[in-house]
Structure formats: C-alpha cells, structure tokens
Amino acid sequence: AMAVYTEVADADLLSFMSAYPLGQVLSVKGIAEGVENTNYLVHMEAGPFILTLYEKRVKRHDLPFFLGLMEHLSGKGLTCPTPIHDSAGSVLRELAGRPAAVMSFLEGMWPKRPSVAHCRAVGEALARFHLAASDYGIERPNALSVMDWRPLMQPVADRAEREWPGIMAEVTTDLDALEARWPDALPTGVVHADLFPDNVFFLGDRLSGIIDFYFACNDMLAYDLAICLNAWCFEPDLSFNVTKSQALVSGYQSVRPLTTNETLVMPLLAQGAAMRFLATRLVDWINYPPNAFVKPHDPIAYLKRLRFHRQSQGPGDYGITS
C-alpha cells in the first residue's frame, strides 16, 4: 500500500496539460507507487503519459541534470521515460507549488522475484546505459559516496545502537576500511546508482525499460554494477546467489568488458554499496514517524549483505573470472 502525496485540482491539471501538444486529457489516475514523488497516469489523446510532481526529497537544482539525462538516453535509443516538451519548449515546469514534468509512459512490470535471465538482462542494460551516457554533457557529483556515509549515520548512531546493540562498532570498522581502501583510478561516468528491481521493467523475459534516474550522478562505473550485485543477487533469506551474480556480470561484460582493476576491486565496491544503502535506510528507519503510511525498508538486510561482501575471498565469490 502506497500513497499519492499531492492532490492537484482538476482545473489546474487540465490547464497544465494543455501546454503540451498531446491533445485533450482523457483521464487522470493517481498511481499508488513511488514513495519519493507524486505520480499520475494521464491518458491523453496522444496516448498514456506520466505526470510527476517532485516532492522535497528530489532537489530542484538537480532536475535539469535528471531530465536532460533521460532525454539524452532516449535519444540514444535506450528505453526509458523521456520528458515531453511543452509548446514553449520547457520540460521542467511547476504545478501545485512543486516542480513538475510530463514523461512518456513505459509499459512493463518490475520483477518481484528476479530470475537469472532477469539478472543477465539488467547487466546488459546497465552497460548500455553507461555507454549511452558517456557523452552526456552535464555532471553531478555523487552526494552519497564513501566520505558521506559516516557523517550521514552519525546523528542517528545513538538511537541505532539502542535498537541494534553493537551495530555502530561493526559499521565503524567497515567505514575505516572502506575510507582507507576506496579506489580512485577506475573508469568513471554517469551511473544510475539505484538500479533496483522496481526500477527495471520487463515484458515477459524481455527488458522493456529503465526508470527512476533521480539518484544518477558521476561515479565509478563498476560501483553501479556493485549496487546491482546487492540489489539483484540476494535471495529473500539474504543468501547470495552466485548464479545470478555471474549472469549479471557476464551480461554487463557482453556489452562493456570490465578492466582487470574493476574486477579485482568488485568485492570492496559491493561492500561500499551495501554500506551506502545501510546508511540511508538506517536514517530513514530512525526518523520515520510511527504512523507513517509507507514503512521504510529494514536496514539490517543491508548489514547482512555488508557482512557477505566483507568476508568474500575475491571476484570468484561473485562468479567473476578475470
């Protein structure tokens, strides 16, 4: 169960939509997904579109980077939502006091139980994304990189420790190691940085598109793959499925082969990726109001992933043969 955050008056919505060359509005349904933004599925005479109102978690000054990226990727043939230009040429406008944009609608469903075939397909798509974004002209630094994780967790450390005794000592040891050993000479570019199953649509086994570029930034390309290892290759019981990771990585390499250094450092990058999601989920968990409608993810699932990566013996544990 999810929520629509912002209710828009019909008159405002019709007036807003009339600025696009899409014909008349036929219907508008608030859709119950996406916990960060408000999304409406709008049937226009020209077809279905998504109207997104950006809530406070997405920074207004980052929107030109995100919207420009989606348009750049669509132009390169990647299937992802593309922002629609209004008659004056704008893609970023305002509605109900919020930044707002209209996107092409992508058919497809995200895989609730990712298969090996899904993992291979997402690996290929991630590499295609990296290549397609390689000549994107705008940069956005990663605001959630290795030096950000410690200060992010610091304000909630006491309460986290009370909830899960011992967690902060364990995390501190990992942070020390990650900060000391984090690589700085790997290939970089635009990364998606949040390519979880709910951001990848499939029609049957065919990947039909990638959505939600609102964490995209410049970072090491291999780190993006390490995020996917965390997001796609653990089973519901949090055991690691090496068949899936092998498929994910080989799918990636079929489009963009990893360098030897990227391969060797993959366990450390995966450990860092687990720490990045542990950090934000810990903060969300501690700060979430007891009566919040959308319950945050359990952060401990990422502590367990982090432990797996910490004890790994090398790329072979991920099915990566260099």
Burial (CB count within 10 angstroms: exposed 0-12, middle 13-18, buried 19+), residue 252:
buried
Which span (20-28, 72-80, 131-139, 212-220) binds a copy of itself, by CB under 8 A?
Answer: 20-28
Stretch that binds a copy of itself, among 24-32, 93-101, 237-245, 272-280 (CB under 8 A): 24-32
Shortest spacing between CB 27 and a copy of itself, in angstroms: 5
Burial of residue 135 (number of CB atoms within 10 Å: 0-12, 13-18, 19+)? exposed
Token pair of 246 as six digits: 């092998």
Out of 23, 46, 64, 107, the only residue in the binding site for a copy of itself (CB under 8 A) is: 107
Enclosing H/E stretch for 190: strand 188-191
Q: Indicate the Cα dihedral angle 283, 288, 293, 295, nearest 10°.
A: 40
CA distances from 72 to 11, 131, 139, 202 (A): 32, 12, 13, 22
Cβ partners under 8 Å of residue 3, min gap 6 = 32, 35, 293, 294
Query: Degrees (nearest 5) of the Cα angle 14, 20, 26?
Result: 45
Closer to a copy of itself by CB, 81 or 267: give it. Answer: 81
Report yes or no: 109 and 208 within 8 Å, Cβ to Cβ. no
Nearest of 283, 278, 265 to residue 306 by alpha carbon: 278
Contact region with a copy of itself (CB under 8 A), list: 102-110, 126-134, 242-250, 297-305: 102-110
Q: Which amino acid, residue 226? A: A
List the interface residues with a copy of itself, window 46-75 (CB under 8 A). 48
Phi, psi dihedrals of residue 32, rounded to the nearest 5°: -90, 55
Both structure tokens of 22: 């899409």
Binding a copy of itself by CB under 8 A: which of 15, 21, 29, 311?
Answer: 29
Kindly identify the residues of this chain, within the stretch 108-127, that bind a copy of itself according to CB under 8 A.
108-109, 111-113
The footprint of a copy of itself on residues 255-314 (CB under 8 A) is 291, 293
Measured CA to CA, the distance from residue 268 to residue 302 in angstroms comes to 15
Amino acid (one-letter) located at 260? T
Which of 33, 135, 176, 205: binder of a copy of itself (CB under 8 A)?
33
Size of the site for a copy of itself (CB under 8 A): 35
| 27, 154, 173, 243: which one binds a copy of itself (CB under 8 A) | 27
Of 60 and 206, the one with the shorter C-beta distance to a copy of itself is 206
CB of 11 to a copy of itself, least distance (A): 8
Q: Which of the stretches 30-38, 70-78, 85-93, 308-316 binds a copy of itself when contact is defined by CB under 8 A? A: 30-38
Task: Kindly identify the residues of this chain, within the stretch 202-241, that bind a copy of itself according to CB under 8 A.
Answer: 203-204
Pattern 129-168, a copy of itself, x by CB under 8 A: ----------------------------------------
**Cβ 110 to a copy of itself, closest distance in Å?**
8
Residue 41 binds a copy of itself, judged by CB under 8 A: yes
Chosen residue from 18, 36, 43, 116 binding a copy of itself by CB under 8 A: 43
Closest distance between a copy of itself and the C-beta of residue 161, in Å?
Answer: 29
19 burial class (0-12, 13-18, 19+ CB within 10 angstroms)?
Answer: middle
Binding site for a copy of itself (CB under 8 A): 1-5, 7, 9-11, 24-33, 41, 43, 48, 105-109, 111-113, 201, 203-204, 291, 293
